[in-house]
């Protein structure tokens, strides 16, 4: 398989990788870089477990080729925690009781972050639209919506 060398930033770290052109971004993040916080679920763009942020947009990394990351900036769930302090969105998920098995949680939080980075006071409809690509089998979504609303309060100093 043909390979290409790409350069990109992940969680504030600049990296070069040589990857087969058919390798997915999810495979590169988890298997080559060791960022296993990004989860693999359906592997076909349906569940959102593999969500990461690329250039400010929440994307499904299972449906994105690693070579598409060339020149881009990526944030994974590992990029949110600083100095052992949870990010306000992570803290809100804990405080709202929005985590059960946790498999959907990294993707949910990154979809929430992509929303809150451009809209710090989202409506409930904005929140539900932002997470429509993320499936949760445990919570029934209510607490996740509450958590994102709480995260908005935390980010706005409330």
Residues of this chain that interact with ligand FES (CB under 6 A) are 40-43, 45-50, 60, 62, 99-104, 136-139
Shortest separation between residue 126's beta carbon and ligand FES, angstroms: 20
Choice between 6 and 26, CB closer to ligand FES: 26
Give the position of tokens 């809209």: 119
Choice between 121 and 132, CB closer to ligand FES: 132
Shortest separation between residue 4's beta carbon and ligand FES, angstroms: 22
Cα distance between residue 31 and residue 80, in whole Å: 20
Given a contact cutoff of 8 angstroms between Cβ atoms, the answer to whether 47 and 41 are in contact is yes
Shortest separation between residue 8's beta carbon and ligand FES, angstroms: 19
State the DSSP code for 49: T
Cα distance between residue 39 and residue 27, in whole Å: 10
């Amino acid at each position: 398989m043909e390979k290409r060398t790409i350069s990109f930033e992940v969680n504030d770290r600049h990296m070069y990788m040589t990857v087969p052109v058919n390798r997915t971004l999810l495979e590169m993040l988890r298997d080559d870089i060791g960022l296993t916080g990004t989860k693999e679920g359906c592997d076909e763009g349906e569940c959102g477990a593999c969500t990461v942020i690329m250039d400010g947009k929440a994307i499904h990394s299972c449906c994105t080729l690693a070579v598409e990351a060339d020149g881009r900036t990526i944030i994974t769930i590992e990029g949110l925690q600083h100095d052992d302090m949870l990010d306000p969105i992570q803290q809100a998920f804990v405080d709202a009781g929005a985590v059960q098995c946790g498999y959907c949680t990294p993707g949910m939080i990154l979809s929430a972050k992509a929303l809150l980075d451009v809209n710090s006071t989202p409506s409930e409809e904005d929140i539900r639209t932002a997470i429509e690509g993320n499936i949760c089998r445990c919570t029934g979504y209510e607490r996740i919506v509450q958590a994102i609303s709480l995260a908005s309060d935390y980010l706005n100093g409330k």
